[in-house]
């Protein structure tokens, strides 16, 4: 999620957390809090947490399983468990705008030398979201990250099997057309008129 030379949204959120006076990048609680902040921002614009978004949008009948971005030339299993891969461009733009606006709020606090504990940032974010009339995530995920991954990976297996079958049929059709062309060419050589 980047535009031009801007930092990715996830890096911007980490910058916000680093402003907390109790920030310790190696702490497990920091990673949990980071995931909570990301989920709140994602929920603000989609109405889904990351796990819920994956479950809602991982669709084996949709082109590329519903993904709008992925690494490489084709969708892989590792791509289907990343929520941002399901976001449309307008959603990415809005998410980047939310993160930028929130980072500006954090920057203003830093310039005014207002130190905060990490736990206070969640309330600041909730108030920021409310003031912008955005969805505010209340409780934890209805779907866990682990559940979402299992569901998306199982759906990927079905998607990939369907993709491989479609490729096999397409290759068989090409082989059949080549065979018919060779027969037609052979007939044409024997009977030039």
Residue 68 lies in a domain: yes
Q: pLDDT tens for residues 33-55?
A: 888 888 999 999 999 999 999 99
Structural domain count of the chain = 1
Residue 184 lies in a domain: no
Residue 33 lies in a domain: yes
The pTM of the full predicted model, rounded to 2 decimals, is 0.76
Residue 101 lies in a domain: yes
Domain with 77, as residue range(s), is 9-161
Top pLDDT among 17 and 47 is at: 47
Q: How far apart are CA 117 and CA 135, in angstroms?
A: 24
CA angle 20, 25, 30 (to 5 degrees): 70
Residue 124 lies in a domain: yes
Q: How far apart are CA 116 and CA 120, in angstroms?
A: 6
User: Which of 76-85, 113-122, 142-151 reaches the highest mean pLDDT?
Assistant: 76-85
Please enumerate, as own/partner, the contacts of 79-86 that have beta carbons within 8 Å and a separation of 24 or more.
Answer: 80/54, 80/152, 80/153, 80/155, 80/156, 81/54, 81/148, 81/149, 81/152, 81/153, 82/54, 83/42, 83/50, 83/51, 83/53, 83/54, 84/1, 86/53, 86/54, 86/57, 86/58
Q: pLDDT tens for residues 140-182?
A: 667 889 999 999 999 999 999 998 998 888 777 766 777 778 7
Residue 134 lies in a domain: yes
Statement: residue 89 has pLDDT above 70: yes
Residue with tokens 């109790």: 22
Top pLDDT among 181 and 76 is at: 76
Percent share of the chain, pLDDT over 90:
46
Residue 167 lies in a domain: no
Residue 166 lies in a domain: no
């Amino acid at each position: 999620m980047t535009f031009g030379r801007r930092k990715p949204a996830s890096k911007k959120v980490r910058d916000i957390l680093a402003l907390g006076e109790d920030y310790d990048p190696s702490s497990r609680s920091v990673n949990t809090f980071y995931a909570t902040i990301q989920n709140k921002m994602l929920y603000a614009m989609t109405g889904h947490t990351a796990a819920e978004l994956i479950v809602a949008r991982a669709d084996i009948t949709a082109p590329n399983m519903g993904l709008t971005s992925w690494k490489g030339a084709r969708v892989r299993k590792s791509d289907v468990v990343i929520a941002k891969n399901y976001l449309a461009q307008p959603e990415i733009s809005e998410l980047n705008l939310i993160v930028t606006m929130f980072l500006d709020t954090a920057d203003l606090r830093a310039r005014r030398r207002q130190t905060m504990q990490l736990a206070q940032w969640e309330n600041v974010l909730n108030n920021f979201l409310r003031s912008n009339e955005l969805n505010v995530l209340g409780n934890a995920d209805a779907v866990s990250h682990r559940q979402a991954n299992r569901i998306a990976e199982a759906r990927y297996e079905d998607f990939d099997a369907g993709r491989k079958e479609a490729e096999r049929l397409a290759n068989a059709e090409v082989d059949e057309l080549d065979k018919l062309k060779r027969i037609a060419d052979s007939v044409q050589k024997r009977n030039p008129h």
